Amino acid sequence: MPRTLRRCEWARTDLSIAYHDEQWGVPTHDDRVLFEFLILEGAQAGLSWETILKKRENYRKAFAHFDPAKVARFTQRDFNRLVKDAGIVRNRLKIESAIDNAKAFLKVQEEFGSFDAFIWRFVEGRPILNRWNSLREIPAKTAVSDAMSKALKRRGFRFVGSTICYAYMQAMGLVNDHTVGCFRRQEVSSARGGRLAEGAGRRAGVDPLIDAK
């Protein structure tokens, strides 16, 4: 019989298993994907990630395939369209924040050359490789996600609390939180996109452009 693969405990449905096996935790440096997950993680607040995964394709269609330049130009007419779109989370504040975040995203790109260059500074350009034995050991936020949240809020981003930022870090591979025993832990560690730094809770170095009060 074929060997059953061991996965992180949260990957239980067909949709979450596919996401876990193919994307979660892989170091990501594509600005469009980084913008996509910034919007999706904000939309997930108060909901299950499974709900967002089910709506992901609808979000792509509704938000111009996550082109931040196009989303930043959304008008009141676009907003009215979105609040009536049953394929996404029709929360007015979350929709407004997605448009505002697109504008803030463009400003970060202008300042740093790319959003990727900005966001990866929080982990000194290297994914943090944690060593958790079970899901209950994984924190909801860390000092790094606290710093990221504060920096994003200062730049006008919304729905970017520390817990959302940590989920974003996990999804985009800034931190590898695949548990010990999960077959993806080593595969993700070997993925191209950044060097690995062992140790849970390593604090990113202070960057004066990011952490200045």
Predicted confidence (pLDDT) per residue in 117-162, tens digit: 999 999 999 999 999 999 999 999 999 999 999 999 999 999 999 9
Q: Give yes or no for a contact between 126 and 192, defined as CB atoms under 8 angstroms apart.
A: no
Which tokens belong to 96? 């407004």
| Mean pLDDT calculated for residue range 157-175 | 97
Query: What confidence category does residue 190 fall into, taking pLDDT thresholds of 50, 70 and 90?
Result: confident
**Among the ranges given (20-34, 63-77, 101-115, 195-209), the one the predictor scored with the smallest mean pLDDT:** 195-209
User: pLDDT per residue over 66-96, tens digit each?
Assistant: 999 999 999 999 999 999 999 999 999 999 9
Is 120 part of the annotated catalytic residue set? Answer: no
Q: What is the CATH architecture assignment of 28-211?
A: Orthogonal Bundle (1.10)
pTM as predicted: 0.89
pLDDT at residue 205 tops 60: no
Residue 194 has pLDDT above 50, yes or no: no
pLDDT above 90: residue 204: no
CA dist 73 and 102 (Å) reads 9
d(CA 195, CA 120): 11
Where on the phi/psi map is residue 197: left (φ > 0), alpha (ψ -120 to 50), or beta? beta
pLDDT at 2 over 90: no
Q: What is residue 202's predicted lDDT score, i.e. its pLDDT?
A: 36
Q: Tokens 């010990």 identify what position?
A: 180
Residue 132 has which token pair? 């958790």
Tokens, residue 49: 């990630």
Candidates 9, 10, 36, 49; catalytic one: 49
Quick check: helix, strand or coil at residue 129? strand
- Which pLDDT does position 201 carry in this prediction? 35
Catalytic one among 24, 36, 41, 132?
A: 41
Give the DSSP per-residue string, 167-188: HHHHHHTSEE-PPTT-HHHHHH
Q: Is 24 a catalytic residue?
A: no
49 belongs to the catalytic site:
yes
Angular region, 114: left φ>0, alpha ψ -120 to 50, beta rest: beta
Type of residue at 17? I
| 176 DSSP β-pair partners | 129
First to last CA, the chain: 58
